[in-house]
Amino acid sequence: QEQVDALRAGLVGQQFVLEFQPRYGAASRTIHSVEALVRWNHPSRGRVPPGDFIPIAERSGLIVPLGEWVLREACRHVIGWPGIGVSVNLSPVQIRDSDVIALVRDVLDQTGLDPTRLELEITEGTLFSDAARARETLLGLKALGVRIAMDDFGVGYSSLGSLRSFPFDVLKIDKQFIDAIDIGSAGREIVRAILTIARALDLSVTAEGVETNNQLSLLVDDGCAEVQGFLLSRPVPPGRISAMLERQV
């Protein structure tokens, strides 16, 4: 309860900030979009990692107002970065327990952001508790013109069925597969198989957690269009994104 109170105080006290991690064209190495990642600057504990507070926010329901803040703030920033898109992570709790369609519609209205520039990232775990309702929600979001990404593809529940039965536009290959791409012989074959599946289902692909030049060059050779990872950029404050974009034009 103490942690929940601290989170609530953090929301009221504007202790949350966003960082953005660029997503790049794999071959061009230019920034195509950025993923918003929330950070908590706690007055005494310092920076609290999202892995520590997102679960508490989810259990307490505070993820709904926090997620709303993240979405508004992310869209507000990207308006100032013409030509690139923004991805926002949606918690399963937001999809299940809040009117996320109304929220996204309102944020698009308020900011005037072109909906094609907004992508919502969802983990597949989200979809299983009430698949029919989850599917309706995703269709309602898509009807607003935004894109839907399956985050962390390949970990957790098996996902080929979900890829077919939910209206995804983008598949994000989980870092664990990228870690293995140049280890042994199966690693690269698995990534190639995922790329083949994505092509068959007409999904865009982003490889996550690219940390080495060798991983990046194998991904380029295998036709992976977009990459994200510490090799090209860590998550950075918004001011750094502006600077990176200026250098890029």
Any contact of residue 206 with ligand G (CB under 6 A)? no
* Minimum CB distance to Na ion smaller for 108 or for 219: 219
Q: Would you state the structure tokens that stand for residue 201, as one six-digit string? A: 């289902």
Q: Is 171 helix (H, G, I), strand (E, B) or coil?
A: strand
Query: How many chain residues bind ligand G (CB under 6 A)?
Result: 21
Q: Which stretch in 58-66, 154-162, 191-199, 207-215 sits in contact with Na ion by CB under 5 A? A: 207-215
Q: What are phi and psi of 24, to 5 degrees?
A: -115, 150
Q: How far is the CB of 121 from ligand G (least distance, A)?
A: 6
Region 138-157 residues binding Na ion, contact defined as CB under 5 A: 151-152
Helices (H), 98-130: 100-111
Whole-angstrom distance, CA of residue 138 vs CA of residue 129: 14
Residue 191: closest CA among 170, 175, 202, 204: 175
- Which H or E run contains 37? strand 31-42
Region 41-100 residues binding ligand G, contact defined as CB under 6 A: 49-51, 54, 67, 70, 89, 91
Query: How many chain residues bind Mn ion (CB under 5 A)?
Result: 3
Footprint of ligand G on this chain (CB under 6 A)? 21, 37-38, 49-51, 54, 67, 70, 89, 91, 151-152, 208-211, 228-230, 235
Q: Which residues bind Mn ion (CB under 5 A)?
A: 89, 121, 151
